[in-house]
Chain A
Amino acid sequence: MELRVAISKKFSAFDLNVDFTVSQDKVGIFGPSGSGKSTLVNLIAGLQRPDSGIIQLDGETLYDARTSIAPEHRRIGLIFQHPHLFPHLSVKNNLLYGQKRCASDNRKVDFDSLIEVLQIHHLLDRGVNKLSGGEKQRVAIGRAVLSNPRLLLMDEPLSALDDSLRFQIIKHLKDVSETFHIPYLFISHSLMEMRLMADTVLVFENGTMTEQTSCEQLARNRMGQSPVGYINILNLANPRQVDGMVAYPWGDSELLVSACNEQPGTSFELSSKDIILFKKHPEAISARNLLKCKIIDIFTSGNRVGVELSSGENRLIAEVVHQAADDLGIASGSEIYAAIKASAFRRMG
């Protein structure tokens, strides 16, 4: 996919001025509410018209001074914060609404494989008002995908869902995009969602794009200002029961996690603030995890120092204040001990 957007539009509250080109398939648009993200979505989809500029998708001009293609001809799918299912149609007819209106040459998404990926087979004959929040959003995703878009715009599709559903829907969003090869723009104000959904991120503030970066870089940059620090995402598997806790192999050693879980593979969040660093091996500590790690990178974010640790193939980021960094004599390549409480891990989803 190649999307070029260089547009401006004046509003009473703010002016939107953006100029970017993206060629990646998983693009995030990140920014606080009111930064113009949703307006940008509407402009790209054709639901609103810019004052001036150009929008091109895969070489085709969707908007410029002379052209303005109607939304129904842009072949850009939209998944909203709310599902917006048609209340007078069954689940099946909602799903087919876009497919029926798609030229047969462009029909690539197979109905049966889509409902398989989204696991909505049992919902087809129901009315949409009898679905739960997560079911509704799955149907909305299916409906947008079945219209065979060249590009999917996902405008905060998770923000109306609770935490456990959020991770399920993330999986469905990624699955359909990968199975049917549809690139997407994922819009969110949540850094965690960004990191799970996007490869590259456009950061928005007050109607303009301030930077284009990777999710990892964005998370490191924000560590110093964020009250939760940098969130390490750990994908752990092959658990073993130990004294009412669960031990997962990690790097050269094991991680003890107190969050109870029977699933074989799980993702956990661990804040950089929950890792304590020791210069030498302490004699005895209450934290159940003491890992011997190697420092592979050091970065500054705000008044904090981020320390990237490695153990085998695995990486962790811890944060300390500058003075602590000096006391510990932190330097790339040196060895250090990281202590983590078993209760510091938070299961995702």
Chain B
Amino acid sequence: MPEFTSAEYAAIFLSLKVSIVATLLSLPFGFVLAYMMTYRQFRGKVALDVIVNLPLTLPPVVIGYILLILLGQKGFIGQHLLQPLGIKLIFTWKAAVIATAVVGFPLLVRSIRIGMETIDQGLIQASRTLGAGWFDSMMTIILPLSLRGIIAGSALMFARGLGEFGATIIVAGNMPGVTQTIPLAIYEYASSPSGDSMAMALCVVSVVISVAVLLFHEFLTRRMIKVD
């Protein structure tokens, strides 16, 4: 096994950072969106559902390209919102976070929604007649009872984030130490003639992290069943 240099350590660290930040950032939005999709009736619900789930079926490269167009210096959001505020996203690690968040978001929402759909409607009605308003009921009944779905969704989204490649390489580029995550580093080593062993070593790291995430998820789920 070859020795990792600082560039590889940076890639591992960056991968973890991007996935964690993207997951944490998406959680509140994912929860609210899952709540709306499960409990509220509103116009455009189907359209919203399609938009949220679109990244599941679109090639990540397409998502990356759309984000580049939107967030770039001449893009709609880039020009009118980010530039006046002095924010530069494209080709920074923050762009990688956004790309990862968009790609993993539907997985998060789906898991939380499945969790919410299993909650007995009677429990929510009981809380309302006991004096809880809808927000109170959401925080004290729906949130704790959908915790399993939230954990599953977070684990899934985090794991998906570690593997994010197509969207990231377009909006964040592939700069060692700046925006190069594990998959991007593997891609670079695999395309250079002497990089096979390093690519393989990074693959092993990927597998180890993924297994750790799955075990952690399993552990939390089992603990919750015991508490029940």
- A residues touching B (Cβ–Cβ < 8 Å)? 42, 45-47, 70-78, 80, 82, 84, 86-88, 97-98, 101-102, 127, 129, 143-144, 147
Q: Which residue from chain A places its CB closest to the CB of B123 in the assembled complex? A: A84
Residues of A within 8 A of B194 (CB): none
B122 touches A84 (CB 8 A): yes
Q: CA separation between A179 and B228, bound complex, in Å?
A: 34
B129 touches A45 (CB 8 A): yes
CB distance from A305 to the nearest CB of B (A): 46
Residues of A within 8 A of B145 (CB): 87-88
CB distance from A90 to the nearest CB of B (A): 11
A147 touches B131 (CB 8 A): yes
B130 touches A144 (CB 8 A): yes
In the A-B complex, the 3 residue pairs with the smallest Cβ-Cβ separation, listed nearest first, are A101-B131, A98-B130, A84-B122
CB distance from B109 to the nearest CB of A (A): 22
Count the B residues whose beta carbon is within 8 Å of the partner chain — how many? Answer: 18
Choice from B122, B125, B128, B144 contacting A88 with Cβ under 8 Å: B144
A72 touches B128 (CB 8 A): yes
Q: From known contacts A88-B145, A129-B228, infer whether A98 and B123 are also in contact, taking CB-CB under 8 Å.
A: no
Q: Which residue from chain B places its CB closest to the CB of A45 in the assembled complex? A: B129
Q: From known contacts A78-B125, A129-B228, infer whether A84 and B120 are also in contact, taking CB-CB under 8 Å.
A: yes
A80 touches B126 (CB 8 A): yes
A76 touches B141 (CB 8 A): no
| B206 contacts chain A at the CB level, 8 A cutoff | no
Q: From known contacts A87-B145, A88-B145, infer whether A82 and B122 are also in contact, taking CB-CB under 8 Å.
A: yes
Known: A78-B129, A84-B122. 18 other contacts (CB 8 A): A46-B129, A70-B128, A72-B132, A76-B129, A77-B129, A77-B130, A78-B125, A80-B126, A82-B122, A84-B120, A84-B126, A87-B145, A98-B130, A102-B131, A129-B228, A143-B126, A144-B130, A147-B130
CB distance from A244 to the nearest CB of B (A): 48
Q: Which residue from chain A places its CB closest to the CB of B122 in the assembled complex? A: A84
Interface-centre pick from A47, A74, A76, A144 (highest chain B CB count, 10 A) = A47
A101 touches B126 (CB 8 A): no
Q: Which residue from chain A places its CB closest to the CB of B143 in the assembled complex? A: A88
Residues of A within 8 A of B123 (CB): 84, 86-87
Q: CA separation between A129 and B225, bound complex, in Å?
A: 12
- B residues touching A (Cβ–Cβ < 8 Å)? 120, 122-123, 125-133, 136, 140-141, 144-145, 228
A70 touches B133 (CB 8 A): yes
CB distance from A259 to the nearest CB of B (A): 38
Q: CA separation between A94 and B228, bound complex, in Å?
A: 15
Q: CA separation between A177 and B92, bound complex, in Å?
A: 66
B125 touches A98 (CB 8 A): no
CB distance from B224 to the nearest CB of A (A): 10
Interface-centre pick from B126, B127, B128 (highest chain A CB count, 10 A) = B126
Q: CA separation between A60 and B126, bound complex, in Å?
A: 22
19 contacts between A and B (CB under 8 A): A71-B125, A71-B129, A72-B128, A72-B129, A72-B131, A72-B132, A72-B133, A75-B131, A80-B125, A80-B126, A84-B123, A84-B125, A84-B126, A88-B145, A101-B130, A101-B131, A102-B131, A127-B228, A143-B126
A86 touches B129 (CB 8 A): no
Residues of A within 8 A of B122 (CB): 80, 82, 84
CB distance from B41 to the nearest CB of A (A): 13
B126 touches A78 (CB 8 A): yes
Q: CA separation between A94 and B144, bound complex, in Å?
A: 14
A101 touches B129 (CB 8 A): no
Residues of B within 8 A of A47 (CB): 125, 128-129
Residues of A within 8 A of B133 (CB): 70, 72
Residues of B within 8 A of A75 (CB): 131
Q: CA separation between A147 and B126, bound complex, in Å?
A: 11
Residues of B within 8 A of A76 (CB): 129
CB distance from A292 to the nearest CB of B (A): 54
Residues of A within 8 A of B130 (CB): 72, 77, 97-98, 101, 143-144, 147
Q: CA separation between A74 and B133, bound complex, in Å?
A: 11
Residues of B within 8 A of A45 (CB): 125, 129
Q: CA separation between A149 and B125, bound complex, in Å?
A: 15
CB distance from B228 to the nearest CB of A (A): 6
Q: Which residue from chain A places its CB closest to the CB of B130 in the assembled complex? A: A98
Q: CA separation between A47 and B137, bound complex, in Å?
A: 14
